[in-house]
Structure 1
Amino acid sequence: MAATAVKPPTHTRATTARTPGIRKVPSTIGTPPPSVRATTPRAEELGVVGHRLEHGAQQVITSEMMARAVPGTNPLKVLAQMPGAMFQSDDPQGYDTWSNQFYMHGFLQNQIGMTLDGIPLGDQEFHSYNGLNSALAISSENVGRLNVSNGAGAESIASTSNLGGSVEYVSSDPKKKMGATIAQTFGSNTTMHTYARFDSGILNKSGTRFYASYARNDAHKWKGGADQFAQQVNIKLLQPIGHDSRISAFFDWADLEVYNYQDMSFDILKNGGYNIDNFVGTRNGYAKAYRSALSLNGLPGGSLPAGYSKMSDPWDASYYDGGTLEQDYLGGVNADLALTDKLRWKSVVYGHGQYSRGIWSNPYVASPNGAPLMEQMTITHTQRFGFTSALEYTIAHNHLSAGVWYENYNTDIGRYAFEQPLLGEGTPVNPMGSLAAPFATLWRQSFNSNSFTAFVQDTYNVLPNVALHFGFKSLLQTVRATETANLESYTGTAALTSGSMTTARAFLPHVSGDWHFLKHHELYFDLAENVKSYPTAGWNQGASPFSVSQTVFNQIRHTLQPETDWNYGVGYRFTQRYMLASLYGYHTNFKNRLQQVTSGSIVNPISTVANVGGVTMNGVDAGLTLMPIEGLALYNSVSYNHATYDDNLTEAGTTYHLRSQQIVSYPRFMYKASLSYRWHEFDAHLDTQYMGKRNFSYTGDTKVPAYWIETFGARWQAGQMAKYNRHLAFLHNLTLEFNIYNLTNTKYIATMGENGLPMSGDYQSFLVGAPRQFFGTVKMEF
C-alpha cells in the first residue's frame, strides 16, 4: 500500500435507546470507581441526574465525582477512571495542553465528539482550528456533569469527528441562594490553585440568577525550570421562562502560559535520565543552550553540558525553551423552550476567538546577528461561529427529534523566526511576553471551513421496559487552504498546500436497543456507521491532507477517502443496593485510517501522512463495585482491547509489517481498582491503575513499558459551621482535603506520539509522568 498524506484518528461510540418511563441514568459500562462516585448511601442513586438519556452505553460523571480529585484537575482525567478510557499528561492536574492525551475504547480525543452546553469543542488537537481544549473551555469546578457515550453512535452531537464516542460537558447552574465559594490549594513544586465564585441568587420574580468565577493555577515545573500558569474567568446567566423553559448564556475567558516539558526518546531516557529537560529557568540556562548550538554547528566555543555526550542526539535533548501561550474567548446563548407539552425547541448560538503561540528554540537556524540559535514560534489566530437548532416531539410511544448544526471558522497559522541575542549582549526572547518583529516568516497558511450536519432520530418504546432507537446523521464539510508564505530553504518544498477538500455523507445510520428485564437487570445493543471529516492542519502539523506539499496534495486530493467505521456494541448491567456489575463488548471495522509518520528533528520534523488502511478492533470491559456496608465501596474493572492493523504499508520502496500489530499509543490491557470509605463528615479513597504496554512504533518493534500508579485522597466536610459555633453561621461549609498523586513515586512514560510516531525504532516523541506530588486544599462556602 503506497503512502499518502493525512493525520491520526482512531475508533467509535455507542448509544442505545432508553425508555422514557424509566427515569434512571445508566450506572456506566464499567461502573465508575467509588473514589469518584457520589457518596449517597444507596447504589441506585449513584450518578442519577434528572434528565432522560437515550443511550445504553452512556454514563454520567457527576460534580461530586470530580470533587474527589485535586482542585483544577482536568475532568477527562477523572473520566479516565472508567474502564476503557485512558488519560495521559506530564503534569498531575492535566493542565499542560501539549501533553494531554485522552483515549476511549481505542479512539483518540480527535475522534471523540466534545461539547460544552451544546457548543462544539472540536477535535481537541493541540493546534485545533475548529475547537477549544476542554480544560480551557470551563473551570473544572464549574462542570456540573459529563454525559459520556463511549459506544457506537450519537447522531445529535455537533461534531464532524466523532468516530468513537462523545463527551458532553454540562456547566453547573447558578445557585438559587446568594453565596460565595473560595478554595485554595497548595501543593508540591509551589503549586497554588485558587478558585473563587460568587452566586447572585434569585434576583427577581422571574428567577433570574448568575454566577461569576475566577480560577488561577500557578506551579513550578517538577523538573527543569520556569513555570506553568493558567487563569480563567467563567460567567453564566440563567433566565427561567415559565415552569419548563429557560435561556442561559455562558462566557469563558482563558489565559494559558505554560513552559512545556521537553519531548523525550528512549535514547534520551536511557542516557540522559528521567529528569532531563530544557534549559530555561535553570542556572546559566541560556549559556548552556548557546554553547550547545555552537557545538551542533561546529563553531568555536561550542560545548555540551556534562553527560550529554552519552546521547546519540544531545543537541535535541534540551533546547533553551519550549512552551505554549494561548488566549481564548468563548461565548454562547442556549435556549430550551417548551412550545407545547409535547414539543420542545433547543438552540445554541456561539462564537469563539483564539490566539496561540507554540514555542521552541531552534539550534539549527542562526539569528541574523550571528547567535547560533533562534526562537521559532507557530502563531495561530482563529475565529469561529455557529449555531445548533433541534426540535423534540413526543407522540404516543415515540420520542422524535431532528436538528441541524452549522459552523464557519477562519484560521491563520504561520511559523516565524525571532532573533536571539549574542551571549552576554542581551536578554533572551520572552515568548510569553510582547514580541519584536520576526526576522523571517518560515511558512504561513490560511484556512476557511464551512460545516453542516443534520440528524433525525426516534426512540420507540415498544413496552415500558423496552426501547428501540433509530436515527441517521448527514454531514457536509468543505475546507479551503491557501499558502500565504513559504521559505523554501526551511520547508524544503517549493509550495505548501493550496486547495480544498470536501467530506460528504448523506446517510450515517444508527440503531440501538435497551431492555430492562427483571428488577435489576439491563441489556442493550448498539450499531452505527460514522465518518470523520478530513483533518485540518498546517505544514507538518499533523495527519492532514493540508499539512503536505502542493505536489503531494495534488496527488492525493482525488483518491483520498475520509476515515469511516462501523461500530457494534452489546452490554449488560446489574444495579442493586450492594452491588453494581457490568459487561460490555464492542467490535469496530475501521477504513482509511490516517496516521502521521515522523522522523528528523522535532523542531523541523520530516513528516509524512499515511493511509495505513483498515483497523479491526474487538474489546471487552468488565466492572464490579461491591458496597457490603454503608459508606464502604470496592471497585474493580478490567479492559481488554485487541485493535490491529489489517494491512502492511509500503513507503518509498520499503514494506513495513503492520498487519496484526496492535495500534500505536493504546494498551491492550488495563486494570483499575479503588477502595473508598465514608464515615460521617470524613471520606477517603485509595486508587490504583495498571496500564499495559503500548506500541510506540507502528511495526511494534519499540514499545512503552507497562506501569502501575496509585493515588490517595482524604477529605473532611464540616457542613454548616453554626452547629459548632453560632458565630460561624455565615460559613455554610468548610472542607479540608489532602491528596497524593503517584503514591509509590513510579517512573513511567505518559503521553506518546505528540510529535508523531516512527514506523520502526526510536523517535523523540513521548513525555514522562510526574513523580509523587502532595496537595492540600481549604474550601469555604458562604
Structure 2
Amino acid sequence: MPFTVTRLTLSALALPVLLSAPPAHADEADNDDPANIQVVGYPDPQGLLPDQTEPKAVSAISADFITKQAPTLNAFQLVNLLPGANVSTSDPYGLSASSGITLRGIGQDAIGVLMEGAPQNDIGYFYAYPSQFADAENVRQIRLAQGAVDMDAPVVAAVGGLLSLTLDDPKAAMGGLVNLSLGSYNERRGFVRFDTGEIGRTGLKAFVSYSNNRADNWRGAGFDKRQHVDGKLLREWGDGNRASIAFSYNDAITSTYPAPTLADWQAVGRDFNFTQRYTPGDTAYWKLYRGPFRNFYVAAPVHLKISDKVAFDSTTYIQFGHGNSPYGTQLAETGNFLGNEELTQPIALPGAVNGVATVLGNWTGQQRRFGEVAKLTYEAGAHRITAGLWFDYGTDRVTQSYTSIDAQGRPLDAWGYQDKAIRTADGRLLAYENQRTVTVTKGFFLTDSIAVAPRLGIDVGFKGVHLLRNGRNYLPGPQSKVQFDAFAALPRAAVHYQLDDRQQLFANVTTNFRTPNEFALYDSYYGGVLVGQGAGALKNEYSVSQEIGYRYIGPSLSYSVTGFHYRFRNRQVATVVNSGGALVNSTINAGSQTSYGLDGEIDWRPARGMSLYLSGEYLHTRLNDDLPVEGDLLPTRGKRAVSAPRFQFGFGTTYDRGRLFGSTALKYVGRQYATFMNDESIKGYATLDLSIGLHLAGLVDDKPLDLRLNAINVTNPKVLSGVYAIANNAQDTIGRNGTVIAGSAPSYYIGSGRAFVATLSRAF
C-alpha cells in the first residue's frame, strides 16, 4: 500500500495543473466502447521538453525549436530558456568568444561540454567556446544535465553539469539546404549544406556544410568574421548497428568587448568601448583586441550489437586548436626581465618613442588532444551491466609574448607566432608566460541497471579517474617543471519508479569533480618579482549532489519538477596570499559550499501546432568557510555564491501551422553577486526574443521554402548581464584577524543590444 498512497498524493498535487489542460480527444467511432478510447493530444512543435526517462534532471531542445531561432545563435544562447541556465553574451549574434554560462550557480569552467560524445572544453582551463561549435542548422538536439553527469562522459571539470550536442544525421535522399541571412550591424551570413543520400550500394551516407558569417560590432568599432565547416559520414546496418565520423572546423577572427567595472558602467554605460582611431601610445585601440582562432574537431562514435545480450560502444576523438587572445600594452627598451632574470642589454623595439613602444601583447594557445571512450554492455536477466575505459592525452602550449605594431596601430602578426615576436638582445623569446603542459587522463567505470520490478529500476555505479599533468616552465627561475597527480573516486546511485504510463519518480546521489586548471600550477613574475605562485598541492574540487524529481508526460501537457542539493568541497579560488612576507597571486583551497533549490518546466500544447513552455529555478547558495586572503581571513562564511541568481524564469511559445510560424523567448534572471563578500551586485533583468515566418513551399515548387524574421533582445534593455571577473571584496574589509583587506572592483558583461535578422531558407 505505500506505493498506492504515494501515487495518489502525487496525482493530487498534479491535479491543479492537469485541470488547466484541454480535454483529451477520443475517437468518435469508439465512444460507446470505453475499452477502445484513444488519447490523441497534440505533438510538441517546439521540442523544448522531449520525453525523458533517465533517473536525473535532464532538459533539452530539439531542431523543432532551433530552426525557429536566428541561425547565428550559439549553443549557450539556445539553451538560455532551460532551467538553471544563466547565459551572458557580449553580442547578439553569439560570434564573440566573450560569453559565459552558469548552471545552478556553477561557473562555465565547471560545466562539461560534449559534441557527438567528444569533449569540447579546453584541456588546460576547461572553458568551452560556443562560437566554435557546429552550425545550428546541423544540430539535432542539445541536452542539459543540470547535475548528474553521464558516467561515460570524458570530462574532468563537470561539478556543475553537462551540456551535450548531437549532430543531425545525413539524409536518406540526396538534397541540400541554403540559408541566406541579412541583419542589423551589417550582419551577412550564408549557409549551404549538401546531403549525398546513399552512396552507391555501400550503405554510406554523408553531409557536408559550409557557412560564412560577418557582422560589425554592435557597440564600438570592429567586426567579426567566422567561416565554418561541418560534416558527417554514417553507415547503419543490421539490428541497430551504426558507425559515424563527424568533424567540425572553425576559422574565425572575433572581437573582445571590454568589460566595465560598476563605476565604468555608471559613468559611461554602453559607451565603454575600445577606441576607434589609433593615436601613438594608445593601448586601447580596437585592432589590438581581435582574436584569431582555428579549431578542428573529429569524433567517431560506433555502436555494435554483438548479440542479443551484448553491445559495444566507443567514441574516438581528435582535436587541434590554435589561437590568440591579444591585448594592447607598452614595453620599454630597458629595465626588462625574463622570469626572474634581469636583461642587462636593451631590446629592439620598432617605433619606440623615448625608449617606449606600444605593442601587441599575445596570449597564444596551441592544443593537441586525442582520446577514446569504450564500453561493453551485457544484459543478464534483470541486470544491465556496463563496463568501460577512457583514455585522453592532451598537450597545451601557452605563450604570452609581444609583437610590434605599425604606425597605424595594426599588428604585424595578429596570430602571435614566435618567429615574428619581439626577442631579447641574445635572441630569446621575450615572454611573460612560456610553458607546455601534457595532461594524461585514464578512467574506468562500471554500472549496473537493475530492473527490480516492472515499474522499479535501480542504478548503481562507480567511476575512477586518474589525471596526471606534467609541465615545463621555460622562463628563468627556480621552477622548471610542474606536476599534478590526482585520482577521483566517483560512486553514484539512482532509482526510477514508473507510477503509470505517464508519471515517473526519480532520485539520485551522484559525485562529480573538477581538477585544478594548469594556470594554478605555474609561477609567474613581473619586474623580476614573483607575483603568482604555483599551487601543486591542490586537491580536486569535489561535489556530492542529490536530486529527487517527478515527471508527467501527457498528450497535451508535460512537466517536471526537481529538487536538488549540492555540497562542494575543496573549492578552487584564485586569490592573493602571503608568501614569505610578500603578497602574491595563487589558487587556494577555499573550503566548502552548499547549494539547494528547485527546478521546474512545463510544456502545454493547447492546440495543434501551438506550444507554451515555462521554466523556473529557485536557488539558495551558502559559502561555508572564510576565505584566506593576504594572510588573514575574509569573513565570507554564510555569504552567497557569485553569479548565482536566487530566481530565474523562462517563457517560450511557438506556433507552426499552415503558412505561418513563429516563436517567443522571454528570460528573467535575478540579482547576481559579483564578490565573495556580497558587497557588490548587479540587478535582475529580462530579455525577449521574437520570430515570425512564412512557409512558402508551393510558390515555386513543392520543396521547402521559408522566410523568417528574428528579433533578438527586442526590448533592448541597457543592463549588465553577468559577472565577467569576480573579486574577493569590492570594499575595504576588516579580516577576522584585524587586517584591512583592500577591495578591488569586479567587472561585468554588458547585455547585448537589439538586432534583427531576416533569413531565406531553401531546401533542394
TM bucket (normalised to shorter chain) is: 0.7 to 0.9
Q: Distance in 2 between matches of 1:545 and 1:517?
A: 51
Q: AA paired with 2:235?
A: Q
Change (3 A) 1:196 1:270: same
Deviation at 1:221, TM superposition (A): 0.2
Q: Deviations over 1:489-546 (max 9, x none)?
A: xxxxx555731011203x3111111112134321110111222222223xxxxxx234
- 1:420 correspondence with 2:419: no
2:667 is matched with which residue?
Answer: 689
Pick the aligned partner of 1:557 from 536, 551, 564.
536
Assess if the C-alpha contact under 8 Å between 2:262 and 2:747 holds in 1.
Answer: no
1:631 is matched with which residue?
Answer: 609
Q: Which runs of 5+ in 2 are unaligned?
A: 1-16, 18-39, 334-348, 424-429, 578-582, 732-743
Q: TM-score, normalised by structure 1?
A: 0.82
Q: Distance in 2 between matches of 1:320 and 1:764?
A: 25
Q: Deviations over 1:598-643 (max 9, x none)?
A: 89xxxxx984323221100011123333333333333322211111
Matches within 5 A, 1:48-59: 54-59=54-59
Change (3 A) 1:432 1:764: farther
Assess if the C-alpha contact under 8 Å between 1:257 and 1:432 holds in 2.
Answer: no
Q: Distance in 1 between matches of 2:293 and 2:157?
A: 23
Q: Distance in 2 between matches of 1:328 and 1:476?
A: 27
Q: AA paired with 1:75?
A: A
Q: Deviations over 1:284-319 (max 9, x none)?
A: x111xx3556xxxxxxxxxxxxxxxxxxxxxx7x77
Pick the aligned partner of 1:357 from 319, 324, 331.
324
- 1:194 correspondence with 2:190: yes
Q: Distance in 1 between matches of 2:600 and 2:203?
A: 45
Q: Deviations over 1:62-98 (max 9, x none)?
A: 122221221031122211211111111111132222x
Deviation at 1:380, TM superposition (A): 1.5
2:490 is matched with which residue?
Answer: 508
- 1:742 correspondence with 2:713: yes
2:393 is matched with which residue?
Answer: 408
Question: Helix, strand or coil for the counterpart of 2:400?
Answer: strand
- 1:450 correspondence with 2:450: no
Deviation at 1:246, TM superposition (A): 1.8
- 1:272 correspondence with 2:268: yes
Matches within 5 A, 1:156-171: 156-171=152-167
Q: Name whichever of 630-639 and 228-237 sits farther off.
A: 630-639
Q: Distance in 1 between matches of 2:383 and 2:167?
A: 29
Q: Deviations over 1:661-702 (max 9, x none)?
A: 111122111122223333323122222211111111110111
Q: Distance in 2 between matches of 1:658 and 1:131?
A: 26
- 1:220 correspondence with 2:216: yes
Q: Distance in 2 between matches of 1:45 and 1:706?
A: 31
Change (3 A) 1:496 1:698: farther
Assess if the C-alpha contact under 8 Å between 1:156 and 1:403 holds in 2.
Answer: yes
How many equivalent pairs are there? 681
Deviation at 1:346, TM superposition (A): 1.0
Which protein has the larger Cα radius of gyration, Structure 1 or Structure 2? Answer: 2
Q: AA paired with 1:545?
A: L
Q: Distance in 2 between matches of 1:237 and 1:133?
A: 25
Deviation at 1:218, TM superposition (A): 0.7
Q: Distance in 2 between matches of 1:356 and 1:672?
A: 35
2:449 is matched with which residue?
Answer: 459
Q: Distance in 2 between matches of 1:276 and 1:134?
A: 25
Q: Distance in 2 between matches of 1:743 and 1:137?
A: 25
1:11 is matched with which residue?
Answer: none
Q: Distance in 1 between matches of 2:222 and 2:46?
A: 42
Assess if the C-alpha contact under 8 Å between 1:386 and 1:408 holds in 2.
Answer: yes
- 1:148 correspondence with 2:144: yes
Q: AA paired with 1:86?
A: N
Change (3 A) 1:502 1:277: same
Q: Deviations over 1:561-608 (max 9, x none)?
A: 211111001111222233223221100010011123489xxxxx9843
Change (3 A) 1:643 1:233: same
Which is bigger in relative contact order (C-alpha 8 A, separation at least 6)? 1
Q: Distance in 1 between matches of 2:752 and 2:50?
A: 38
Q: AA paired with 1:349?
A: T
Deviation at 1:213, TM superposition (A): 0.5
Question: Helix, strand or coil for the counterpart of 1:76?
Answer: helix
Question: Helix, strand or coil for the counterpart of 2:591?
Answer: coil
Q: Distance in 1 between matches of 2:665 and 2:247?
A: 35
Q: Distance in 2 between matches of 1:771 and 1:562?
A: 39
Q: TM-score, normalised by structure 2?
A: 0.83
Matches within 5 A, 1:626-705: 626-705=604-683
Deviation at 1:341, TM superposition (A): 1.9
Q: Distance in 2 between matches of 1:107 and 1:238?
A: 36
Change (3 A) 1:606 1:770: farther
Pick the aligned partner of 1:248 from 239, 244, 247.
244
Q: AA paired with 2:717?
A: T
1:302 is matched with which residue?
Answer: none
2:511 is matched with which residue?
Answer: 529
Change (3 A) 1:171 1:400: same
Matches within 5 A, 1:199-598: 199-279=195-275, 282=276, 285-287=277-279, 290-292=280-282, 321-363=288-330, 367=349, 369-371=351-353, 372-421=357-406, 423=407, 428-429=411-412, 431=414, 436-439=420-423, 440-485=430-475, 494=477, 498-505=481-488, 507-537=489-519, 544-546=520-522, 556-558=535-537, 560-597=538-575
> What's the C-alpha RMSD, in Å, of the aligned pairs?
2.9
Pick the aligned partner of 1:180 from 173, 176, 183.
176
Q: Distance in 1 between matches of 2:151 and 2:465?
A: 10
Q: Distance in 2 between matches of 1:85 and 1:764?
A: 22
Question: Helix, strand or coil for the counterpart of 1:485?
Answer: coil
Q: Distance in 1 between matches of 2:394 and 2:301?
A: 20
Q: Distance in 2 between matches of 1:329 and 1:654?
A: 46
Q: Deviations over 1:32-71 (max 9, x none)?
A: xxxxxxxx97257874999996443223321222212210
Q: AA paired with 1:195?
A: F
Question: Helix, strand or coil for the counterpart of 1:771?
Answer: coil
Question: Helix, strand or coil for the counterpart of 1:273?
Answer: helix
